[in-house]
Amino acid sequence: MNKIIEVKNLTKEYKNLKAVDDLSFDVYEGEILGLLRAKWKWKVYNN
């Protein structure tokens, strides 16, 4: 499978709140990545 998305060491801060710290992941062809903002849950679905 081909890698179509690659995220490495992502960090996001809002003022004094570190919302995401050192996040890394890959998404491959045929996978669907969904992000639900309310509780910051990550799901990867394989076909």
Tell me if 32 sits within 8 A of 41, measured CB to CB. Answer: no
Predicted TM-score of the model (pTM): 0.62
- Out of 9-13, 32-36, 42-46, pick the least confident: 42-46
pLDDT of residue 41: 57
Residues 12-32 pLDDT 10s: 898 888 888 999 999 999 988
How far is residue 15 CA from its own chain's centroid?
Answer: 21
CB atoms within 10 A of CB 31: 15
Cβ-Cβ contacts under 8 Å for 16 (sequence gap 6 or more): none
Cβ-Cβ contacts under 8 Å for 37 (sequence gap 6 or more): none
For the residues 37-41, what does the mean pLDDT come to?
58
